[in-house]
């Protein structure tokens, strides 16, 4: 049997623990170590029960673990602020880093869109849950027409928004908006997150609203549905909630201002409604917002360690 590549996780909260569960069934990766800062966390307890080396001393404790010697990739499932500290501590270690926080130290990566182009990077940023769900759709539109403006709304259950998610709301909107432009290919991007307190908890739902140069309806529909199929290869619960909607934008419609100078062109308003159901590896099925992050991160790390050259130091 081919040796599985060894990984470490920083962060023993919901995201880190879900990562632990997903990595246990990966044919490419195995978990060697987990670091947290709460010795009583469920994540560290579960990891220890699986014979994974653990420490409650954060990244400093991770570097002292003998198990870290064999680690090739580190997943950071903490917070944007903590990631700056963790990245600095790991800088000279030679390990690749997959960053699940909105810190955005390294380039943005969305597996279905640009993973292959970033194979040599040392630190890759997973954008945000909303970004992972919606940027593939923006990129699909940009592959067949000009996207002058794209706005996404990510609605998640308030139960699935832990302390890290809530602390990173500002970073979420800024990071996602920038990635809509940089990775998605939109001229302008905007991101909104909604924490929905509904009971029973709702599944993650995402809306992509884009102003594009008018193109053939069948071409746009095909690009979107093909991208949804691609993302669902690594996030099985990712799906269209309803048919792609296209509406011509009248000459004097105020939405044209969002497209800037392109507002003088023939424009179409495209609306895509998505739903993400989690795999319930550790988190409940309604927490698709967290599940899409961990599933995408595993996909990126598997690609890095099986197809990529040595990282840029």
Which residues are annotated as part of the binding site?
Answer: 12-15, 160-168, 289
* 236-284 per-position pLDDT tens digit: 999 999 999 999 999 999 999 999 988 889 999 999 999 999 999 999 9
* 189-239 per-position pLDDT tens digit: 999 999 999 999 999 999 999 999 999 999 999 999 999 999 999 999 999
CB 106: neighbour CB atoms within 10 A? 20
Taking 70 as the threshold, does the pLDDT of residue 309 lie above it?
Answer: no
* 39-60 per-position pLDDT tens digit: 999 999 999 999 999 999 999 9
Distance between CA atoms of 31 and 23, rounded to whole angstroms? 7
Once rounded to an integer, what is the mean pLDDT over residues 145-170?
Answer: 89
With contact defined as beta carbons under 8 Å apart, do 245 and 312 qualify? no
**pLDDT for the residue numbered 154:** 96
101 is catalytic: no
Which residues are annotated as part of the binding site for NAD(+)?
Answer: 12-15, 160-168, 289
> How is residue 4 annotated by DSSP?
P
Domains detected in the chain: 5-126+292-307 (3.40.50.720), 129-285 (3.30.360.10)
- Residue of 129, 138, 142, 287 with catalytic role: 129
With contact defined as beta carbons under 8 Å apart, do 289 and 154 qualify? yes
**pLDDT for the residue numbered 274:** 98
């Amino acid at each position: 049997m081919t040796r599985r590549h060894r990984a470490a996780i920083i962060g023993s909260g919901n995201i880190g623990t879900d990562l632990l569960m997903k990595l246990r069934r990966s044919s490419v990766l195995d978990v060697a170590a987990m670091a947290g800062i709460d010795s009583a966390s469920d994540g560290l307890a579960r990891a220890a029960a699986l014979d994974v080396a653990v420490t409650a001393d954060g990244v400093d404790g991770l570097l002292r673990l003998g198990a870290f010697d064999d680690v090739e990739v580190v997943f950071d499932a903490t917070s944007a602020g903590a990631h700056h500290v963790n990245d600095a501590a790991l800088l000279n270690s030679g390990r690749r880093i997959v960053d699940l926080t909105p810190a955005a130290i390294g380039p943005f990566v969305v597996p279905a869109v640009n993973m292959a182009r970033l194979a040599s990077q040392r630190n890759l940023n997973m954008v945000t849950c909303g970004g992972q769900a919606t940027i593939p759709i923006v990129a699909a539109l940009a592959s067949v027409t000009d996207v002058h403006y794209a706005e996404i709304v990510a609605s998640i259950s308030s139960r699935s928004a832990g302390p890290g998610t809530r602390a990173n709301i500002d970073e979420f909107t800024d990071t996602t908006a920038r990635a809509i432009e940089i990775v998605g290919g939109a001229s302008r991007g905007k991101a909104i997150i909604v924490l929905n307190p509904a009971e029973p908890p709702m599944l993650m739902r995402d809306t992509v609203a884009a102003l594009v140069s008018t193109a053939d309806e069948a071409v746009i529909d095909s690009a979107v549905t093909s991208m949804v199929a691609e993302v669902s290869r690594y996030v099985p619960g990712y799906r269209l909630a309803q048919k792609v909607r296209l509406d011509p934008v009248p000459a004097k419609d105020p939405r044209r201002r969002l497209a800037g100078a392109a507002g003088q062109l023939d424009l179409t308003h495209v609306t895509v409604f998505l739903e993400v159901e989690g795999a319930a590896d550790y988190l409940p099925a309604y927490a698709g917002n967290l599940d899409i992050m961990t599933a995408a991160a595993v996909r990126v790390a598997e690609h890095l360690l099986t197809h990529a050259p040595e990282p840029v130091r």
